[in-house]
Amino acid sequence: MSGLKVAVVGATGAVGNEMIRILEERDFPVDQLHLYASQRSEGKKLEFHGSKITVKKLDNDSFKDIDVALFSAGASRSLEFAQIAVQSGAIVIDNSSAFRMESNVPLVVPEVNSHCLNSKSRIIANPNCSTIQLVVVLNPLNKISRIKRIVVSTYQAVSGAGQKAIDELNLQVKAKTKSEESLPENFPHQIAFNCLPQIDVFLEGGNTKEELKMINETRKILESDNLPLSATCVRVPVYNSHSESVNIEFYEDMNSKKAREILNRSEGIEVLDDIKKSVYPMPIDISGKDDVYVGRIRDDDSLLNTINLWVVSDNLRKGAALNAVQIAECLLGKNILEV
């Protein structure tokens, strides 16, 4: 079988597992799949196309003859090993924050800015999960009527913080039902039956690092350095799929009817919006799906040319693993990667 030699770095994590699953689902042309993780996971076996592949410890020799490496092992691992992979001849698609704001590194959502990819792209950054679903919706609207200002509030699932965060929610829910105590370890406070208006650390000025990521990454992807955007990021006791309440003001004519028509014909977007039947996107329904789902599309009567949207997407799939594989597919389509 002809194909590519693909490496998944961080293969045993939530996103790494999803990358393997999506490579298989989409029949990505893999000749050899190499799985890497920390020493703790060395020797584990993961399934791909019916075969068991042994997870190896990541080291400086891991990328010999690799064509494309999908990284999802955190920023420190990416900073340590991405350049080694490139020097070995691989193209790196990195899911961490390590390179996102580097001026010479494309920050790519294929439905939005695949034009940024070229033969010089050796490290390509995958945006933050909450940014990806936001820009997929903003981009087609912005093409028709220029966006003036955005206010977004996120409702982010615990899977965005990794498997340990999922386990913590499980433990706290079980403890609560038994009237037992389960102290927080991965979050600053109890996450079960609670909402935490803090994701990552607070920065000078009061924004969290997650909020600043959304602001800066959205500007870079939409190629609008001064786009006014305000974000409030909240962790909620949902296992998977992020939700966002988005208020968008436009310079030119825009209303809910026009927005609905634009979004209905846009790539990667599904509109679920029938309030008479209480139809709108919900995390429990969207988990495991690939598109970005939009509902509650309505006019903001307090401001001219302004609309409100409710946006939901699977943060492990489109928010991370799927977007990375789609970038690799774009590289194939542009003959930057060759089978």
CA distances from 306 to 141, 312, 321, 322 (A): 12, 20, 32, 31
Which residues are CB-contacts of 41 (< 8 A; sequence separation ≥ 6)? 11, 12, 55
3-state DSSP helix/strand/coil % of the chain, to nearest 5: 35, 25, 40
Annotated catalytic residue 49: no
Annotated catalytic residue 129: yes
Handedness of CA 127, 130, 132, 138 (dihedral sign): negative
CA atoms within 13 A on the CB side of 160: 28
What is the rounded CA–CA span in Å between residue 164 and residue 162?
6
Tell me which of 34, 233, 242, 330 is the catalytic residue. 242
- H helices within the chain, ranges in order? 14-25, 75-87, 110-113, 129-144, 163-177, 209-221, 256-264, 283-286, 322-333
Burial class (CB in 10 A: 0-12, 13-18, 19+), 135: buried
**Active-site amino acid positions:** 129, 242
